[in-house]
Amino acid sequence: MNKSTFLLMVLPALLFAERYSLVSVTPLDVTEAMRMVGTGCEIVHVYDDGSLDCVTNEMEYGLLLSSGIPFTTRIDDLERFYARRCGGRTMGGYMTWDELSAWMDDLHDTYPSITSAPTSIGDTYQGRPQRVVKISSNTDFWYDDPALPNVWYDGLIHAREPASMRNIRFFMLWLCENYGRNGFCGLQATWLLDNREIWCLPCNNVDGYVYNQQQSPGGGGMHRKNMNWSAGGDGIDLNRNWSVGWGGPGSSGDPGSQTYRGTAPLSEPEASNIDAFWQDHPPAQMHSTHTYGNILIYPWGYTDDATTHAAEYDAQGEIMVQWGTGEVHGPASQILYYSSGNTRDHSYGLYGTMSWNHETGGDFAGFWPSPEETIKLTRRNLRSYLVTAFLAGCPYDPHVPGTPVMDPVGQVTPPFTVTWSSVPGAGAYALQELSGYQVLLDDDGSGGPFTMNNWSTTTSHYHSPSSSYLSGGTGTLTWTGTAAIPEDGGGRLSFWSYFNIPSGSCQGSIEVSTDGGENWFYLQTFTRTDQVWRLNIHELDEWQGDTLSFRWETYGSSSDLYIDDIKVEVWEENQFVDLEVPTNSYTFDNHEGGDFWFRAVAMDPDFGPGWPSGAEAAQITGTGISRGQTQSGITSLGRFSPNPASSIARIPVTVSAAAGESATLLVFDVAGRQVADLSAQIQAGGCHTVQWDLRDETGAPVPGGIYYALLMTPDLTGTRELVVAGCR
């Protein structure tokens, strides 16, 4: 196509922007509902009473008028409404395409050992690259390690849904920042990047997103489709252009419709590029993010028939509910609307991928949320993304490892053994040691240190006798205290929830603030009827060095959220003593004296780490050998912690009295070059905790990669491997 032809096609639209409206419809019967779908408008939400919210362009609005179906116009001009709400922020507070592309480059430059360079898998209709970043310890973009399952994430397949891009961008950053971190969040991120290949396409529909920027630089652009206007309309809906179910209900053959499917399956390069990539790199799990509706959708979308893995999909959805989304989940044809030719049906139908579409945000957020809601939504999908990645190792057998229960330790003298309950299916356990542990809050729901805005205590439902906190509609329950997370420490927020909240128009949430309440972020949301008490856990080591505030918030008059048994714990230091304990016990031959706490984590070989146990106290006294004391026993070399490491690594070394000053501890890279000499820290017999600041002998930081510690004494020669992360 030459430039003159293209300009003739797009100039009218640039001069006369389409008007989009939000309408509410209550169909009378199934036939009328199908007529509604046949207009080609986008059904954005189906409420519990059967009413529908739809976005219509001018053509679809006219079809709806002529159909005779009664409807109410909620917002006449959505683009104008959103532009005003965005408050003049550039692109509504979201990154432009150029800014996103530069950010992806910076991410790789900052974390080169765990990210690939952003790589184009093909060009869009207008010739822009679809840039993908691979996040994994295997950073070779085009090579798949057969031992590592693939996981695929994408956003902005519809150009007016920028929150989807922001969600994925945060997930990418979270993985990189927590890789090698000393704590449970670090354990999660490190295990995933060492055991998965994670592919992220934060902006699928680049052309459409750029067009929205050109049309509405302050945000609020309502263009949905790509920029192939050759058929006489305003593009092709990229989520109706895929092969499986193409041409079925929920898509339109009219080029003027928002759900126009194109002339043939995979006719659009934005879809065919991804399909070609999947052929060579088939994902075990796929998570495509959209807005809005607060629902999780899986196949099928083009038919009412159940998939072969309907039970497995339901199990995966319940795991996501437990971990943090609290959402309705099911096939699109049952919980939202028919949608034929979509990504999830295609990837599942052709490649066996367990595929999800995530409609994030309530109707109060919409496509272009308010400044406050934009910030809140940033990390909303994090936990469902993590579940998707963990389940890639067991997609057709979805399961989460159980949580061990620590046995009491009490007062002990080395040698002593720490034990915990066995977890079925655990391949190993990780043992974590804490110091400086304290409980900041342990509230039973009877009216503790909280500021209540339209919340109250109630005795109608509770987890532990005899009361809990209940929302009264829109309002907040704010803890008046704060939790300061030490630089080398961590913490944990836990509570029980019980809720009955209609999806879409209402929502409950637990939120965190790092700036004294000026900005809040969703940790977890509650958006369905879930009348069972659930334990919710949030590990806090990702906020090392920050001071945290917490609040529970509800939106909507029908939001019934009960909260009980709230507990906030923090600790000054933590380390994983061993990540591969083969049984449910660990023996310390030596340990310094003092007060310590221990937690165990079940490690499932397919899923990864489950939730840590509660902390069990130990008062270590007596004749046990403290670190640095002399002993006449044998020499031993422990394991590095954390491993991977990003700033400092520690390794326990016991040197026998006979070895004395002859002990040598050196660090080598994979090429056999010596990079550090740590011998000065073990020149006396006894137990030592050797620290390496991940710098070479010139004082320069070593690059990310694999290193080996070599201990040489007259009675032992041993080595240990350490992975140095690139996130430093």
Between residues 91 and 688, which one has the greater pLDDT? Answer: 91
Residues 500 and 605 in one domain: no
> What percent of the chain lies above the pLDDT cut of 90?
69
List the CATH number of the domain containing 148. Answer: 3.40.630.10
Distances (CA, A) of 130 to 89, 104, 156, 270, 556: 26, 12, 11, 8, 39
The tally of domains found in the chain comes to 4
> What average pLDDT does the segment 360-387 reach?
92
Between residues 559 and 488, which one has the greater pLDDT? Answer: 488
Q: State yes or no: pLDDT of 12 exceeds 70.
A: no
Q: State yes or no: pLDDT of 149 exceeds 50.
A: yes
Residues 364 and 492 in one domain: no
Residues 180 and 215 in one domain: yes
82 is a domain residue = no
36 is a domain residue = no
79 is a domain residue = no
> What average pLDDT does the segment 673-700 reach?
87
Q: Of the candidates 725, 630, 549, which has an alpha carbon nearest to the alpha carbon of residue 136?
A: 725
| Among the ranges given (180-189, 341-350, 391-400, 401-410), the one the predictor scored with the smallest mean pLDDT | 180-189
List the CATH number of the domain containing 463. Answer: 2.60.120.260
- What is the number of alpha carbons within 13 Å of residue 603 lying toward its C-beta? 24
Between residues 48 and 6, which one has the greater pLDDT? Answer: 48
What DSSP line would sit under 197-242, residue for residue? Answer: EEEEES-S-HHHHHHHHHH-TTS-----S-S--TTSSS---TTS-S
Residues 559 and 517 in one domain: yes
Q: State yes or no: pLDDT of 602 exceeds 90.
A: yes
Distances (CA, A) of 13 to 90, 227, 280, 614: 22, 11, 38, 60
Identify the DSSP state of 464: S
Residues 255 and 113 in one domain: yes
Q: Of the candidates 28, 20, 21, which has an alpha carbon nearest to the alpha carbon of residue 73?
A: 21
CB 504 within 8 A of CB 363: yes
Note down the domain range covering 198: 90-393
List the CATH number of the domain containing 671. Answer: 2.60.40.4070
3-state secondary structure of 99: helix
As a whole number, the mean pLDDT across the chain is: 90
Q: Based on DSSP, count helices (H) and strands (E) in the chain, helices before strands.
A: 14, 37
Residues 525 and 613 in one domain: no
Residues 282 and 325 in one domain: yes
- Last residue of some domain: 561, 589, 620? 620
591 is a domain residue = yes
Query: What is the crossing angle of helices 382-390 and 184-195, to 10°?
Result: 50
Identify the DSSP state of 700: P
Residues in the chain: 728
What pLDDT score does 19 carry?
93
Q: CA–CA separation, 639 vs 577, rounded Å?
A: 8
Identify the DSSP state of 180: T
208 is a domain residue = yes
Residues 275 and 222 in one domain: yes
Q: CA–CA separation, 280 vs 44, rounded Å?
A: 33
Which amino acid, one-letter code, is at 137?
S
Residues 611 and 558 in one domain: no
78 is a domain residue = no
Q: CA–CA separation, 706 vs 649, rounded Å?
A: 13
Q: State yes or no: pLDDT of 623 exceeds 80.
A: no
Distances (CA, A) of 668 to 179, 564, 574, 645, 709: 22, 52, 27, 15, 7
Identify the DSSP state of 327: B
Residues 319 and 182 in one domain: yes
Residues 587 and 711 in one domain: no
Q: Which residues of 303-449 form beta strands (DSSP E)? A: 328-331, 354-359, 410-412, 416-419, 428-435, 438-443
Q: Of the candidates 313, 270, 250, 321, which has an alpha carbon nearest to the alpha carbon of residue 158?
A: 270
Predicted TM-score (pTM) of this structure: 0.86
Quick: pLDDT tens for 75-92: 999 999 999 998 888 999
For Cα atoms 288, 289, 294, give the angle at the middle one, nearest 5 degrees.
Answer: 130
5 is a domain residue = no
List the CATH number of the domain containing 614. Answer: 2.60.40.10
Residues 427 and 462 in one domain: no
Q: Encoding tokens for residue 120?
A: 């184009």
When mean pLDDT is compared over 42-46, 241-245, 638-642, the highest value belongs to 241-245
CB atoms within 10 A of CB 44: 21
Q: State yes or no: pLDDT of 633 exceeds 90.
A: no
8 is a domain residue = no
Q: CA–CA separation, 203 vs 468, rounded Å?
A: 43
